[in-house]
Amino acid sequence: MRDRQEIEQEMYHAREDLEQNLGELKQNVRETVDVPNRVRHAVEEKKQQARELARRGKDGVVRAYDRSVSFTKQRPGLVGGIAAGIVLGAVGIVMLLRWRDRSRPWYERAYSRAYDAACDLI
């Protein structure tokens, strides 16, 4: 049978382990329940992610701009032709729509405007 000193020694070690585990448990509970600190940490992490995303987006825009500038410098005639084509196409569409509206007789134009106005009221 064990003597009293061994039992006291075991009880002392058990108490020490229990106090240590209790201290660790309290620390874990404090960290888990400390909501403001956890929120602050999460917000900082998301801010950092947003900064990184903005930086990558900015770098992509700068790269695309630099490529478009170099392309324009290499082929100014092509870029000018494309721009002129877009402008001429827009002017042509506007003129075509005006011609179509003017080529109809006055009573058709008046009727369509009155019909459109009546439809707006409904």
Which DSSP string corresponds to 31-98?
A: HHH-HHHHHHHHHHHHHHHHHHHHHHHHHHHHHHHHHHHHHHHH-HHHHHHHHHHHHHHHHHHHHHHH
In a domain, 92, yes or no: yes
pLDDT above 90 (res 83): yes
Q: What is the mean pLDDT of residues 8-22?
A: 88
- Band of pLDDT at residue 47, cut at 50, 70 and 90: very high
pLDDT of 61 over the 80 cut: yes
Domain that holds residue 96: 76-122
Total domains, the chain: 1
Residue 60 resides in a domain: no
Structural domain includes residue 47: no
What's the CA gap between 99 and 92, in Å, rounded?
A: 10
* pLDDT (average), residues 97-110: 78
Distances (CA, A) of 17 to 30, 54, 56, 112: 20, 50, 51, 93
**How does residue 89 score in pLDDT terms, banded at 50, 70 and 90?**
very high
- Residues 64-89: what's their mean pLDDT? 93
More confident residue, 66 or 29: 66
- Kind and range of the H or E element at 18? helix 4-33
- The answer on pLDDT for 112 being more than 80 is no
Residue 26 pLDDT: 87
| CB neighbour list of residue 109: distance below 8 Å, 6 or more residues apart | 101
68: in domain: no
Single pTM value for the model: 0.40
* pLDDT, average across residues 79-106: 90
